[in-house]
């Protein structure tokens, strides 16, 4: 019997890629105006800053998503005042959050699961503060029973520590938890390895869809009845 449904956030509850493109464009414009960089030069510096950040903190920690650190490192590379780092980070997230729109069916999905009644959880990579902000923007924070971020779990999906923490908070066996996410490897297969029931949300089917491992269910939209998700 299913007792909890746990969701990833980015590209699962809304289109992360679209919001990021808009926000990144805003920060690029700031860098061109205030730092004297070209758009291409800023992109190259940003990529290098990300590489430096990952080399320093590793790749399995939520710190790799910290925009403030990334912009700090970028400014240090060009000997520009780090004064700009918090302003760039604030600009990015203000524009990003304003661009976030829920995927079709999200509100109805969350409401139906709560009415079932099932526990509704979040299992997501990234730092907690902005994941909370996204859930507020999406209008479903009030429907969430528990949240696990990689910042809290100390490791990024597909490491099972994050999934184990979700199960612990759900208060039921892993076999009674459904995990829904957009990444086949990080979400579906990671959840399956930890004993949860995996659902792969594939809103943009690839030209050559991979053969799904036994036990992994694929859905194309949150508008598909949540009762089916809970009825695995």
Supply the residues annotated as catalytic: 8, 10
Distances (CA, A) of 72 to 52, 84, 130, 174, 215: 11, 8, 18, 40, 44
Token pair 């710190």 in the structure block, residue: 63
Going by C-alpha positions, the residue among 95, 97, 176, 100 that lies closest to residue 129 is: 97
Q: Enter the tokens of residue 137.
A: 């923007």
Contacts of 123 (CB under 8 A, 6+ apart): 6, 7, 8, 148, 157, 162, 163, 165, 166, 179, 181
Token pair 């990234």 in the structure block, residue: 126
Q: Enter the tokens of residue 52.
A: 């430096």
Token pair 């590379």 in the structure block, residue: 77
Q: Enter the tokens of residue 18.
A: 């679209």
Q: Enter the tokens of residue 107.
A: 């509100």
Name the 3-class secondary structure at 149: strand
Task: Round to the nearest angstrom and report the end-to-end CA distance of the chain.
Answer: 9
Token pair 């194309």 in the structure block, residue: 220
């Amino acid at each position: 019997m299913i007792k909890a449904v746990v969701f990833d956030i980015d590209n699962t509850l809304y289109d992360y890629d679209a919001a990021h493109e808009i926000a990144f464009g805003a920060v690029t414009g700031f860098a061109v105006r205030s730092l004297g960089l070209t758009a291409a030069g800023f992109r190259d510096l940003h990529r290098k800053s990300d590489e430096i950040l990952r080399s320093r903190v590793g790749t399995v920690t939520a710190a790799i998503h910290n925009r403030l650190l990334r912009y700090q490192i970028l400014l240090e590379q060009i000997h520009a005042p780090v004064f700009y780092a918090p302003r760039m980070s604030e600009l990015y997230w203000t524009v990003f959050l304003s661009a976030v729109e829920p995927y079709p069916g999200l509100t109805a999905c969350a409401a139906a699961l709560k009415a079932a009644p099932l526990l509704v959880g979040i299992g997501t990579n990234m730092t907690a503060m902005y994941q909370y902000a996204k859930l507020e923007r999406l209008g479903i924070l009030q429907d969430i029973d528990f949240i696990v971020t990689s910042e809290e779990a100390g490791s990024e999906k597909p490491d099972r520590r994050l999934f184990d923490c979700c199960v612990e908070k759900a208060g039921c066996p892993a076999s009674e938890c459904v995990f829904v996410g957009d990444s086949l490897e990080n979400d579906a297969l990671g959840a399956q390895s930890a004993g949860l029931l995996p659902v792969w949300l594939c809103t943009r089917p690839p030209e050559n869809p991979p053969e799904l491992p036994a036990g992994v269910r694929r859905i194309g939209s949150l508008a598909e009845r949540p009762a089916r998700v809970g009825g695995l």
